[in-house]
Structure 1
């Protein structure tokens, strides 16, 4: 299997890199599985006290779902797909160690959601984030839940229905980016913050993170149950496949031009 996820140690900090730069680190099933396994390993390692996650290349943390995978889904596969996301999101939410996102460009769709599940986010002026899934025919369920937790209902409706991307300054203003630094400093700043958090008392850190998870658990489980129901209906209708094919065709024509 290709190394879709890279891990390395930086002292007490584990660095995780999403590694499909040729497709802007877009997700597929092997990549989701590999990320869960990498986070499992770092969670078990007693010498790792904090984690930084970033994307390979300079253009994107992650472009979201790889549409070449989801364009073939039927209703049954769509329901399984939601279960795959549940496994990944549950793994992130249950980490006892702080998780920091080092944002090196675009974070869209499910990559945006993963960024919001991180505890803190470091970015630069070129970062863009949002929930453009509607543009490719994907109904949003987990995205609106996590956006509402951070942003409230009005902005969640805006981002979900328009599919627009926020620039870095808007993200900072609404609290989604904690620190804006020059692009070449993003990873170093994230690692420095991770080292600072790694030095905090570990039991207090674990219990604080546990409580944040408890506070949001009911909404998380509700959005997943809704996701299975909604994605089954959406993919059963055939609309996502048609929209994704059209989206990919437009993108291919734009590249060719």
Structure 2
């Protein structure tokens, strides 16, 4: 599929989604949001996609957030209701069973950070600046920031970031658990791709069930999460890949996964 504001490339089971508006720090306009919805919806349905990497074009930003030029017109009720009904790209990301890795370089602000929060794993370059800055524009995070951030860093730190609109650097983001790894700025994408390729080598159904067990389990009481884990583990015992994994281990060879 051809896009105007993003790029999507698939190599060896890893899809790389690149926000491609570097002249405006990869700010997200309506066109980009719509293309991200279509892109992630398509990736989620593609059995050839084992893992996904999200990054920003250029050296200055993952994404600086929403394109402020679209903020100058007041929201009218009809348009507001239409936006509420429209599928958000972060919902489309939630619908992807494949693991999603963010490669963050430079600014990840507002909606840009919310995009990173919707990923499963975040790798930041040393130059990363992260923040939910919406309060500075008399609005609040509306793309999951008020819900996803406290689940990662805790209520107090999330409120501090949201209520002040302050940015934090990569080292602080690592300390509070907002990112999983900090690497040299020029190596963020390479590290993300390396991780995604390692993930993509595993059995596809097991990958999807492992992610489902963790993501859905965190929203359940422990007993419910344990039941979910047991159900998924039981289902995996019926797959052809489970048998292939055992045979490959005994034969001391690399497994040949079929996704069945």
Please indicate, yes or no, whether the TM-score normalized by the shorter chain is above 0.5: yes
Q: Which is helix-richer, 1 or 2?
A: 1
Deviation at 1:71, TM superposition (A): 2.4
Deviation at 1:214, TM superposition (A): 3.0
| Residue from 181, 184, 204 that aligns with 1:182 | 184
Which residue of structure 2 aligns with residue 46 of structure 1?
47
CA spacing shift, 1:202–1:72, aligned 2, 3 Å: same
- Which ranges in structure 2 are unaligned for 5 or more consecutive residues? 221-260
Which residue of structure 2 aligns with residue 125 of structure 1?
126
Which residue of structure 2 aligns with residue 199 of structure 1?
201
Which residue of structure 2 aligns with residue 252 of structure 1?
none
CA spacing shift, 1:6–1:145, aligned 2, 3 Å: same
Deviation at 1:79, TM superposition (A): 4.2
- Is 1:108 paired with 2:109? yes
SS in 2 for 1:129: strand
Which residue of structure 1 aligns with residue 60 of structure 2?
59
Deviation at 1:113, TM superposition (A): 1.0
Whole-angstrom CA distance in 2 between matches of 1:126 and 1:7: 24
Whole-angstrom CA distance in 2 between matches of 1:2 and 1:50: 20
SS in 2 for 1:96: coil
Whole-angstrom CA distance in 1 between matches of 2:214 and 2:28: 26
- Which ranges in structure 1 are unaligned for 5 or more consecutive residues? 219-257
Cα displacement string for residues 9-64 of structure 1 (whole angstroms, at most 9, x for unaligned residues)? 22111111001111111111110111111122222222221110100110000011
Q: CA RMSD in A?
A: 2.0
Whole-angstrom CA distance in 1 between matches of 2:217 and 2:55: 26
Higher relative contact order (CA 8 A, sep 6+): 1
Whole-angstrom CA distance in 2 between matches of 1:80 and 1:67: 20
Whole-angstrom CA distance in 2 between matches of 1:74 and 1:13: 38
Moved over 4 A (4+): 215-218
Cα displacement string for residues 200-242 of structure 1 (whole angstroms, at most 9, x for unaligned residues)? 2222221232234434669xxxxxxxxxxxxxxxxxxxxxxxx
Normalising to structure 2: TM-score of the pair? 0.77
Cα displacement string for residues 99-143 of structure 1 (whole angstroms, at most 9, x for unaligned residues)? 100111110011101101101111111101011111112223432
SS in 1 for 2:194: helix
SS in 2 for 1:100: strand
SS in 1 for 2:162: helix
